[in-house]
Chains A and B, each alone.
Chain A
């Protein structure tokens, strides 16, 4: 029996900031100080506050240590774990108050959050099925198999109002009932864990922190539609998630929670893993199934929809990881409980991966309908260096931007579509005033050009032409006709592409054109980049009145473009200048200007 548990985050974020080393040093130090029978170290999934990693939380006190270094460990062990004196200096500063330490749940980052899909992340050891069971794991599956008919299960999911968390927002219950209605000797349940949007990492974190929730939900789905086999399609770039899934599947089989005759109900269900090679298009459902079948991952036209003819031409349902993670909770707590959260047409919560120009980079889960302002300013801690919010990009390369004028819009599926963006998988990239919107659109287009599978012409050729036009704009060589051409091309690609990748690829351009057209015009007509990002449109100049002739800029210039005598104003040779900005950064007199 252990009197204290030390939970260390083993998600990808904290692993890359060195949490495995922390665990090793911690275990060594604990046994050195003779506490190994009293204190247990547990590696968990993501806590969400990735910006502060490596993260460590000590129970029963609930003390939250952030940015832990190996050198801090001996002090934490001897002071806190042995003598019970919390090392306040090393705690997450927001939890330290004048009269003691406050709970993590009272900090601004966690206060407004409501964790459903992430409820076990950072709480349990994902490599131990018994810990999942201790937190009511597999009870929903047991309840469904022993008390519900498949139709009742589908009805509960329908009543809850759950919609797909992967992008489109299709009703999960409806999807299941369509697959149930199609008779076949074999049906399949698939999990889309091919998370490809730049900046989105909630599916990875759920698989790393709570893999059994996904397995349990897939088995429930299998029972509901009449399938006996499931597949999880996960990208090979997620090694920790893959490893934990392998462990979880093996443990579930060992406990008889996957396999034959589960809960003595006569229901058989098993799950196989399929690793993706990292093509973005394989997140599209038809391409994903083609890839599982062993072919090159390319989409095919719909209909027939997967619920009619999916994997190996059999009725198939495909849901996203986060969607599945909600299912066991809906069964246990009821459809009404789930439907009580969120907005009229978007129920429940949504996980967002916060990134970009924001203090608290990480994962947050909030009820649908929370405003962008609450997420950015309160939970996210605002924008660093006192800069101004300019826009947020949601939905990655398929989505669009939300400008400052919509800062107070309640975020749900329909509101985002009405302002020209989309939920996507929930990546939320915050941009400040130093971001050039044309450059951002170009960044996403570069991504889609790379990732277009090449099967259909509008996407293969169209996105390439769009990128060329955007490059022309950022180089200051475009005309107003080019801008019109770009917009027209967007509509063509949207309407004529085969799959979601092409159909949504122009969204970043269309939404930036809608809200930031003046920035495009500045690039085209004035040949200026207002944010000072597009290098071709910049020039650096030295203000002769301010320059003291200290020679520092001339010394840091990597190409020798700055000349001048000591104590005399210097000069930049614009033909040599590569616009790296090193001189401006170093100048102590503010004499160098970017124009």
Chain B
């Protein structure tokens, strides 16, 4: 170890992998429906894509969890995003490809991707 910078580089590299262990009330919560219906419709690749994407961008304050069946099985995979201001957005018929855009637009920049939401899909 030659300098504090070198130490900080290691810390930053490892930090995001242990972030998951910090309980943070201000985090953006990404909740993926992982009941039988969700898994059958392909929710697992979606869940993993969120994990990868958040890690790749080294985002802090984002927690990714699963939940059971929400009751709209025909729209699975369903993903709900809760922001600290109490807003809930429900994305439906998600795919791993759509995840990158949701992370970039919604989680990073705060713009809901309207065309993927349940409102746009039930019309």
Contacts and interface: CB of A to CB of B under 8 A. Distances in A.
Nearest to B66: A84
Interface string B1-40: 1111001001101110110110100000001101110010
Contacts of B13: 130
Secondary structure of the B contact surface, majority rule: helix
Interface stretch (A3-11, A16-24, A568-576): A3-11
B51 interface: yes
Tell me which of A1, A5, A123, A256 has the highest count of chain B C-beta atoms within 10 A of its own C-beta. A1
Nearest to A62: B23
Nearest to A83: B34
B74 interface: no
Given A3-B48, A7-B21, A38-B48, A83 B68 contact: yes
Interface string A116-159: 00000001100000110111101100110010000000000000
B67 interface: yes
User: How many residues of A sit at the interface, in one of the four size bands?
Assistant: 35 or more
A105 B55 CA distance: 27
Secondary structure of the A contact surface, majority rule: loop
Tell me which of B20, B48, B52, B67 has the highest count of chain A C-beta atoms within 10 A of its own C-beta. B20
Given A3-B47, A3-B51, A60-B63, A134 B4 contact: no
Given A1-B17, A105-B23, A134-B18, A142 B47 contact: no
A264 interface: yes
B14 A60 contact: no
B67 A262 contact: no
B60 interface: no
Contacts of A262: 1
A84 B67 contact: yes
Contacts of A142: 1, 3-4, 7
B66 A83 contact: yes
Contacts of A124: 18
Nearest to A259: B1
B30 to A, nearest CB: 10
B100 interface: no
For the complex of A and B, the 9 pairs showing the least CB-CB separation, nearest first, are A84-B66, A134-B14, A3-B51, A256-B1, A1-B55, A60-B63, A142-B4, A130-B14, A264-B2
Interface of B: 1-4, 7, 10-11, 13-15, 17-18, 20-21, 23, 31-32, 34-36, 39, 47-48, 50-52, 55, 63-68
10 contacts: A59-B21, A60-B20, A60-B64, A83-B66, A85-B68, A103-B23, A130-B14, A133-B7, A133-B10, A138-B1
Given A3-B64, A139-B7, 11 more contacts: A1-B55, A38-B48, A60-B64, A82-B66, A83-B36, A85-B67, A131-B14, A134-B14, A134-B18, A142-B7, A256-B1
